[in-house]
A and B are shown apart, each in its own frame.
Chain A
Amino acid sequence: MGTAANLIALHWASFQWLLWISLYLILGIFVPWLITRAWVQQHGSDLQPRLKELFQHGELGLVGLVLAISGIWDLLRSQCMPHTRALGSILLAVSGIMAGAVWIESYCRRSTGTRFNPERAWRDSRSLAFLVFSMAAVIEILLDRFAKVAVQ
């Protein structure tokens, strides 16, 4: 019984990264879209909310920055060597800042009336958020592996 419980705990620990990915996808992307749909239904509007329109001002860049912070936090709490923690944190921070910069630039352009292209803001923020998300996901997988090795 105890061995089975240990086995389940070990398998659960191996797939924590999957929970991490699901949490961010659900709470960061799906829930805002769902809230928009709920608002549309409540107000009887004929708006057809799409992800592209919801995040057309580069908001995904901000999501990317938050993701990077979460990844850095997990990395700093890990038992990896300081070199690895520092390197991963810097890399995530650079990518996160670049993603956040898309949102900031988009805001500045709209506020000052400078030429603004929503298509470009959407494309840039989506690509950079995808990079941060994929990097943070791989880091979570690597940290799960490292945690298992450290426990043994």
Chain B
Amino acid sequence: MSAPTLALAEVQQRKVIVRLADPAVAAAYISVAFGLLLVFFPVWFPRMIVRNWWNGRLTIAMVVFTLLFDSAIYIRVAHLLSAKLEILAPACLGSLPIMIVVGLSSLLQSAISLTLSGYLPNIEARISEEIVTHTYFALVSAVFLPFVVIRLLEQFKTTKSKR
């Protein structure tokens, strides 16, 4: 085989290695956008989140958003590295954001139940703030944590293959 052919084959066989810097920057931009919306629209933005959470649309919207966002990050990295897509990462990216958003939604429901049973003052506003806070945590977790899992699995695989 000629040298250019070998080099081409090597490029084609290169795997996507996601560095945490890429999803970290994406999650940071989401954080900044969330923070700016909270500062400049302190009433409208939280109210919109709370209304959509009560009518059940927020969880679905977040699942769709995080799935698309995570896929976009992964495909961008693969494109930049001219690397082939692996099965492990897309499997993680297809399932983990859904599990995280749905899991944290259940956690929020139990937090609300606990708030309601506490006989605390200004309970409606407290619940609204809990919903906004959980929405933010779920959004950042669903974008960043799947890549942390992928990174750890990749490192585990590399360590295993070295043995």
- Say whether A associates with B: yes
Bound CA span A67–B25, Å: 17
The stretch that binds A, out of B7-15, B53-61, B132-140, is B132-140
Bound CA span A145–B35, Å: 12
Contacts of B134 in A (CB 8 A): 84, 87
Bound CA span A43–B130, Å: 54
Size category, B interface: 35 or more
The stretch that binds B, out of A30-38, A49-57, A134-142, is A134-142
- Please tell me if the beta carbons of A84 and B38 are within 8 angstroms of each other in the complex: no
Bound CA span A130–B35, Å: 14
- Please tell me if the beta carbons of B24 and A88 are within 8 angstroms of each other in the complex: no
How far, in Å, is A38 (CB) from chain B's closest CB? 31
Count of chain A residues with Cβ under 8 Å from any Cβ of B? 31
Closest partner residue, chain A, to B104 (CB atom): A87
Which one of A81, A83, A127 contacts B25 once the chains associate, using CB atoms below 8 Å?
Answer: A127
Which one of A83, A84, A134 contacts B32 once the chains associate, using CB atoms below 8 Å?
Answer: A134
Having A80-B133, A81-B130, one finds 10 other A-B pairs with CB under 8 Å, namely: A87-B141, A95-B144, A127-B21, A127-B22, A128-B24, A135-B27, A137-B31, A141-B38, A145-B46, A149-B128
Chain A residues near B (Cβ < 8 Å): 80-84, 87-88, 91, 94-95, 98, 120, 123-124, 126-128, 130-131, 133-135, 137-138, 141-142, 145-146, 149-150, 152
